[in-house]
Amino acid sequence: MRVRVDEELCIGCGICEDQVPEVFSLENGPVAEVIMDPVEAEFQEAARQAADDCPEEAIEVDEGAETLLENVITAEVSDETEVEVLSQNIDSERKEVMRTVVDPDLCIGCGICEGIVPEVFSLLNEPYAEVLLDPVPEEFHDAVRESAEECPEEAISIIE
């Protein structure tokens, strides 16, 4: 499991650090940072609770394929072939995951990204582009890549 703190939303209240100081810290700045990535099994439930308790919903929990693979490996399965097939399926799914982020400090709101793939980007609510679909469905991967390439301010980042 992985967690991420949205620095734009985090108000530095310290609730997450109080609940799980092994995972979150405010030591280096005014907002929380993740200091254990991925989150070790013994701290996962507490990290989920910290995300639930965050007043600004600034903590995102990603169970991800790694956790599924760990569950498959630790489960008592008598057929090793079945475990191998499941792990191959999880690996192929992992390769297809795409996330995208728009840096609001760089975005000038030109609308090029929204024009290329309005299913993923919108300028309706903010003066900068917002990401509507996270993670990005596979059918939009090429269009999101094109949007990032065409962005005049290089405000769009792709995480694969």
Task: Tell me the pLDDT tens digit for each residue of 87-113.
Answer: 455 444 445 689 999 999 999 999 999
Distance CA 52, CA 33 (A): 16
Over the chain, what is the mean pLDDT? 84
Looking at residue 143, its pLDDT comes to 96
Q: Residue 62: phi, psi to the nearest 5?
A: -120, 105
CA dist 70 and 41 (Å) reads 10
Q: What pLDDT score was predicted for residue 63?
A: 85
Q: How far apart are CA 2 and CA 59, in angstroms?
A: 10
In the structure encoding, which two tokens stand for residue 136, read together? 């990005």
Q: How confident is the model at residue 125, as a pLDDT?
A: 86
Per the DSSP assignment, residues forming a β-bridge with 34 are 24
User: What percent of the chain is predicted at pLDDT more than 90?
Assistant: 68
Tens-place pLDDT, residues 120-142 = 999 998 899 999 998 999 999 99
Sign of CA dihedral 62, 63, 67, 68: negative
All domains of the chain in start order, with CATH = 2-62 (3.30.70.20), 64-95 (no CATH), 99-159 (3.30.70.20)
Q: Taking the mean position of all CA atoms in its chain, how far away is CA 26?
A: 20
Give the 3-state secondary structure of residue 28. coil
Neighbours of 98 (CB within 10 A): 19
pLDDT digits (tens, 9 = 90+) for 8-42: 999 999 999 999 999 999 998 899 999 998 999 99
CB atoms within 10 A of CB 117: 21
Task: Report the C-alpha gap between 81 and 45 in whole angstroms.
Answer: 31
CB count in 10 Å sphere of residue 102:
21
Which band of pLDDT confidence, cut at 50, 70 and 90, is reported for residue 81? very low
Per-residue pLDDT at 160 = 79
Kindly indicate the confidence band of residue 58, based on its pLDDT and cuts at 50, 70 and 90: very high
In this prediction, residue 104 carries a pLDDT of 92
For residue 147, pLDDT beyond 60: yes
